[in-house]
Structures are given as C-alpha cells and as structure tokens.
C-alpha cells in the first residue's frame, strides 16, 4: 500500500471511504463524483507537487493511495500538452475521474458491433472538462479517450478505480478494415512519485 502523505490526504480518504461504503455502483460513483468536485473546489486537499510535473513521452500515472479496507485505488494522472489515450476500457471496473488542474477533452464511445477481437465504436459525445468537474464510467459504458487539448498547459486528473487497475483494453485501428478497432491488453504501471 502506498503511504504517500500530502495536505488533506486524510480528509480525501475519509470522503472516498464514505462514498465506497454505499455499496452499489451507481450510488458509489454518484457520491464519489460529488465529493471529488467539492474537494477540488474547496482546495482542502493539496496534491503532491510531483503530480504537476509531466513526463515527455507519455501521460504519467502516479499512485497516491490504495484502500486496504475497500480495495479502491487513487491515481493522479499528469497530461502534458497534447498528450492523450487511444480508445480504451477499464477491464470491467467503475472509475470516477476528476479534473484537478487544467482542462481535459473526454470522448465517450458506445460499442456498435463486435466480431471476436474486432470492435466498431460510435462516438456518443465529447466534453471539455475544466478544473473542478468530474465524471464516472460504469461498465458496460466504459469506452473512452482522454486528451489534454492544450498545446501549452499541463492538466492533472484524479482517478478513483474500483480496485487497483493493472491492465486495460486498448483499441487500435485494424489495417484494411475501415471503422474497426482491434482490442489489445495493456499492462499498466505507475510512474515514480517524488516528494520535494
């Protein structure tokens, strides 16, 4: 378990514990979304400075906490200018994502058709989310992309996953088959957390 300390950490964990204890996915994610929005706005929690430092060749994933009691994990993601993801899923687990700093562009997709490992998606909406906003993904509605639309500024988001996410499905265009994506598994790691 990560024991990283930062101002407001205990208040953040208490709020997340209360929400996760509600039990059913819809109630949990609704409560998490509301609590994240409030905490970002109130500025009681101050994330470690390292989460505002991008990594040049990929968005950064930094583990802040994993609950020994409830199993959820908290990951801070740092998005350098223009950095983003391919279409991906969360391997069947819910997630609540809050924009801590900057802006993110999130596009949600619905599965239109599947043929073995080939998938065809329909985009169902894109939002540009600013600091203090949060959204949730509950399977089967979990296909999405995230991107920092700025060409100058860093964005930071806080992700609360149902449990530690060690892999996800990532979708890449299938050569010679317009509109089809092939699903691959990506093992997820975390980038080092450095405290100053």
**Cα–Cα distance, 90 to 190 (Å, whole number):** 16
100 CB-contact burial (10 Å; exposed 0-12 / middle 13-18 / buried 19+): buried
Q: Please tell me whether 141 is known to bind a ligand.
A: no
Cβ(37)–Cβ(90) below 8 Å: no
144 is in an annotated binding site: yes
Using DSSP's 3-state secondary structure scheme, residue 27 falls into: helix
- Pairing outcome for strands 73-79 and 95-101: unpaired
CA distances from 111 to 115, 166, 176 (A): 11, 23, 20
Strand partners, 65: 74
Known binding positions for Fe cation: 88, 90, 144
Known binding positions: 88, 90, 144
């Amino acid at each position: 378990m990560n024991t990283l300390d930062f101002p407001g950490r205990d208040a953040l964990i208490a709020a997340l514990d209360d929400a996760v204890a509600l039990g059913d996915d819809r109630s949990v994610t609704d409560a998490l979304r509301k609590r994240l929005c409030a905490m970002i706005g109130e500025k009681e929690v101050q994330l470690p400075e390292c989460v505002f430092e991008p990594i040049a060749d990929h968005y950064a994933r930094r583990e802040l906490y994993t609950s020994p009691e409830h199993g959820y994990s908290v990951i801070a993601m740092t998005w350098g200018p223009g950095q983003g993801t391919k279409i991906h899923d969360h391997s069947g687990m819910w997630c609540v994502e809050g924009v801590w700093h900057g802006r993110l562009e999130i596009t949600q997709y619905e599965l239109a058709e599947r043929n073995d490992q080939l998938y065809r998606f329909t985009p169902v909406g894109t939002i540009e989310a600013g600091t203090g906003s949060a959204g949730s993904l509950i399977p089967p509605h979990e296909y999405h992309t995230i991107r920092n639309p700025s060409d100058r500024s860093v964005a930071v988001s806080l992700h609360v996953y149902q449990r530690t996410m060690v892999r996800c499905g990532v979708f890449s265009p299938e050569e010679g088959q317009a509109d089809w994506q092939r699903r691959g598994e990506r093992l997820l790691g975390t980038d080092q957390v450095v405290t100053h």
